[in-house]
Amino acid sequence: SAVISQKPSRDICQRGTSLTIQCQVDSQVTMMFWYRQQPGQSLTLIATANQGSEATYESGFVIDKFPISRPNLTFSTLTVSNMSPEDSSIYLCSVLGTGSTTVSYEQYFGPGTRLTVT
Amino acid sequence: DQQVKQNSPSLSVQEGRISILNCDYTNSMFDYFLWYKKYPAEGPTFLISISSIKDKNEDGRFTVFLNKSAKHLSLHIVPSQPGDSAVYFCAASGNSGGSNYKLTFGKGTLLTVNP
């Protein structure tokens, strides 16, 4: 599986500011994903980031709030804009695994970024 | 509307015994199911998966069972070890070879294995 790193690992931010989270993968991957885990909740997909095209956002998430960049096959960023305390969550990036079967849906996750908005 | 449900927030077992973690789903379009393990301050780690064309998949101490008619799957860990203590997430996907690889997760079950 790919080795995935995220920066920062954690941050405390003031409301109204923005934070950009970086995700770096040690190999080229076609698809990258950004998830959010709010306290006590499950992981929720924010968007799918493909290199060379616009990110695809899930219902309830919009580009103005969560702009995503995917400049190459090993890197992506997620920005949390105009933050409020409700944005306090763990943000995780993941990549699609490449298994030996014809189709592989496994995703491999980075360590996450713990964001607290005050 | 939660499509993947893990109704037990926590489970405690003795070392060497079997751990059984349960998961129910409501969306009949789900055809691929995964279990992840998560330690504090780390991202989820993929454990084992099962396609809807199977009813069992085994990998070492981990076995996943799928009951499609009941929309239920379970993860068995035998024998349980203290290092297995973590939060376990059930996830499901409704892909059929298409381009949408969205995973829908349950809320997780905290497993504690006591020495």
Q: Which residues of B touch A92 (CB under 8 A)?
A: 43-44
Q: From A40, which residue of chain B is nearest by alpha-carbon distance? A: B107
A7/A22 Cα distance (integer angstroms): 5
Point out the residue among A43, A103, A111 whose CB comes nearest to the CB of B89: A43
Tell me the Cα Rg of chain B. Answer: 14
pLDDT tops 50 at residue B97: no
Q: From B5, which residue of chain A is nearest by alpha-carbon distance? A: A42
Q: State the pLDDT at residue A98.
A: 66
User: With an 8 Å Cβ cutoff, is B53 touching chain A?
Assistant: no
DSSP at A34: E
**Mutate which: B32, B99, B105, vs A, most A CBs within 10 A:** B105
pLDDT in tens, chain A (118 residues): 789 999 999 999 999 999 999 999 999 988 899 999 999 899 999 999 988 788 999 999 999 999 999 999 999 999 999 999 999 999 999 998 765 444 567 889 999 999 999 9
Give the sign of the dihedral formed by CA B8, CA B108, CA A44, CA A16. positive
> A25-29, A111-115, B93-97, B104-108: which has the minimum mean pLDDT?
B93-97
Q: State the pLDDT at residue A31.
A: 85
Across residues B57-67, what is the average pLDDT? Answer: 97
> A11-25, B26-40, B64-78: which has the minimum mean pLDDT?
B26-40
Q: State the pLDDT at residue A99.
A: 56
Contact A112, A63 (CB under 8 A): no
Across residues B45-58, what is the average pLDDT? Answer: 94
Q: Which residues pair with A22 in a beta bridge?
A: A7, A77
Listed residue (B68, B74, B16, B25) closest to B47, CA to CA: B74
Residue B62, token pair as written in the block: 């981990």
Q: State the pLDDT at residue B29.
A: 87
Cβ distance B105 to A111 less than 8 Å, yes or no, reads no
Listed residue (A91, A92, A88) closest to A117, CA to CA: A88
